[in-house]
Structure 1
Amino acid sequence: MSLRFVFVLLCCLAGAVHAEPARPTPQKAYLTLIIDDLGQNLPRDRRVLALPGPVTTAIMPDTPHATEFAREAHRAGKIVILHMPMDPATGPFAWHPELPIEELERRLDAAFKMVPYTAGINNHMGSRMTAQPVAMAWLMGELQRRHKFFVDSRTSAQTVAAQQAQKIDLASVSRDVFLDDERTEAAIYTQLQTAISLARKQGSAVMIGHPYPQTLAVLERELPKLKVQGIEWIDIRQMISVRSNRATAAHGKDGVYR
């Protein structure tokens, strides 16, 4: 064995001794964004379409521009969902606990006709309605039949909507953070940071906001910064896949919705 070979071998071994241990791969952090209450004001709502990423457009069926805006959102490559009014919401499409299933079905059919290109639905209000196991079980079965997903806006701690979706393995996901319960840019920015922190902690976070001027101003300013912060902004279908219909710790135990 040559002296040169021994020298090289010793150098390699010394380098291995002093090499830093392998660092664990950081956990992915995913965010998805839904903007609710669309269809009321076209110039305002078009700002949502201009946001720099895969925003999901949740369109109310009883708004003057519901059908037109759904078509615009679809042409813009955005995922469209039906923002279905539920008690305590009112209006011709709203679901209420006292209504028979036949009437719930009629209103759902009418709402889907008003909002074309829908991939799924989420509830508008609905604190009373989403607590109704029979109605929610029927809805999830109907969405399964129509090949649509469900997003539980979680407007009430008593919701059983996601639980009923999980029982039949319907593609579904639940909201984590409302961005704009308080309509100031400072409060909305704080909520966005809360969502980012939650995504880092649990791997993902689902945000819901509204097309308020303050919300849009914060999103236009802050969303382009997500990538350099190590956050991946994904669309709602990808989020459903990431979570695999499993509940987060805030919404259930051992992946099962409460």
Structure 2
Amino acid sequence: MRAWLLLLLLGVFGLAQAEQENPPPGKHPRLALIIDDLGQNPPRDRRVLALPGPVALSILPDTPHARELALAAHRAGKTVLLHLPMDPAGGPFSWHPQMPLQQLHERLDAALDAVPYAHGLNNHMGSRMTAEAEPMAWLMAELQRRHLIFLDSRTSPATVAAAQAQKIGLASLSRDVFLDDDPSPQAVARQLAAGIQLARKQGSAVLIGHPHPDTLAVLERELPRLREQGIDWIGIDLMIAVRGNRAMAAHGKGGIYR
């Protein structure tokens, strides 16, 4: 009897130890990472492309290397996003609140043509534009028609973009943490740690960074260490599935965007 009990206890201990070393799927906090403002600087773009894991590359349509980078990212199996300029951003693709829908449509078509293989889009700037309910509702319906996803960069607390996406069930996400509003290496490391802590607290976190040299240096050093910290780094499609289009606590209440 004692031998049987000892074997049972050893078995339970072994299973517990195995689970600690290889937790079941879904046990780890999850991070998704997007790098914005790409297509301007080939050496930095190549560093982003070389980051390990499922980083998403968000490419500005009015940059000289947009098409080249989008094609390279697609060949490398990376997720490509269109980084659509929105007011107060300027340029030939930028959306502005007073524009008629036909002009917004034409600019969206041209921007998607400039960034081939885009799986969806997120806003570049857009603090004024993303507060406009009618064009945001039109955009979400258009993205759904094209089978594209949306990521709200949340450049303003007044954004209604994610709320409009949620209303029609468009596959979408909202950014939780900007890594490099302060691009110093110490600040970027702190923001990455804050993102990890947020993921531990709420189960997941969506991070956006930019191709600053110090941001890339921190990511090159720290991303390979995420697994040993008990963090699953996942692609944005899987993050959409994990979140089920629900708002996090900072963005809404009861899963509904404010």
| TM-score, structure 2 normalization | 0.92
Deviation digits for residues 45-82 of structure 1, max 9, x if unmatched?
Answer: 00001111110000000000111110011111100000
Q: SS in structure 1 opposite 2:119?
A: strand
Change (3 A) 1:10 1:236: closer
The equivalent residue for 1:4 is: none
Deviation digits for residues 97-150 of structure 1, max 9, x if unmatched?
Answer: 010101000100000010000100000000000000000000000000000000
The equivalent residue for 2:5 is: 12
1:213-228 to structure 2, matched below 5 A, reads 213-228=213-228
**Whole-angstrom distance in 1 between the partners of 2:84 and 2:43:** 22
**Whole-angstrom distance in 1 between the partners of 2:4 and 2:215:** 59
1:146-185 to structure 2, matched below 5 A, reads 146-185=146-185
Q: Confirm or deny: 8 A CA contact 1:27 1:200 kept in the other structure.
A: no
Identity %: 66
Gaps of 5+ in 2: none
Gaps of 5+ in 1: 1-7
Runs of 4+ more than 6 Å apart: 22-26
Deviation at 1:12, TM superposition (A): 3.5
The equivalent residue for 1:5 is: none
Counterpart residue identity of residue 203, structure 2? G
Q: SS in structure 2 opposite 1:80?
A: strand
Q: Confirm or deny: 8 A CA contact 1:140 1:164 kept in the other structure.
A: yes
**Whole-angstrom distance in 2 between the partners of 1:170 and 1:202:** 22
CA RMSD of aligned residues (A): 1.9
**Whole-angstrom distance in 1 between the partners of 2:93 and 2:211:** 21
Q: SS in structure 1 opposite 2:47?
A: helix
1:89 maps to 2:89: yes
Change (3 A) 1:10 1:247: same
Q: SS in structure 2 opposite 1:183?
A: coil
1:75-224 to structure 2, matched below 5 A, reads 75-224=75-224
Count the aligned residue pairs: 247
| TM-score, structure 1 normalization | 0.92
**Whole-angstrom distance in 2 between the partners of 1:71 and 1:10:** 63
The equivalent residue for 2:43 is: 43
The equivalent residue for 1:245 is: 245
Q: SS in structure 2 opposite 1:142?
A: helix
Deviation at 1:10, TM superposition (A): 9.9
Change (3 A) 1:9 1:218: closer
Deviation digits for residues 15-47 of structure 1, max 9, x if unmatched?
Answer: 88xx99x89989420001000000001111000
Counterpart residue identity of residue 31, structure 1? L
Deviation at 1:243, TM superposition (A): 0.3
The equivalent residue for 2:69 is: 69
Larger radius of gyration: 1
